């Protein structure tokens, strides 16, 4: 289940043995899931930025690299 949720092997190892032995599984999962959700939210923001850039690039009609507004000044 951890792998399907996107956890790496190192994170699964932490989930299984990186807490005090008395820490219940639900508390371990809560901690790890909250961290993973933050990571996924950041990844989603990056992906949306990449999609937007690629879509703008598909609309580009520049004839030269120097004229391309996607690249910015001085390219």
CA angle (65 as vertex; 64, 69 as ends), nearest 5 = 105
- Tens of pLDDT along 32-42? 999 999 999 99
Mean pLDDT of 7-17: 93
Residues in the chain: 75
Please report the pLDDT score of residue 48 as a whole number: 97
| CB of 7 closer than 8 Å to CB of 40 | no
Residue 72 pLDDT greater than 80, yes or no: no
């Amino acid at each position: 289940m951890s792998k399907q949720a996107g956890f790496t092997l190192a994170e699964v190892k932490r989930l299984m043995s990186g807490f005090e032995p008395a820490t219940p599984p639900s508390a371990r999962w809560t901690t790890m899931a909250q961290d993973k959700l933050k990571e996924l939210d950041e990844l989603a923001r990056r992906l949306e930025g990449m999609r937007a850039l690629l879509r703008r690039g598909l609309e580009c009609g520049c004839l030269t690299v120097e004229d391309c507004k996607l690249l910015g000044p001085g390219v």
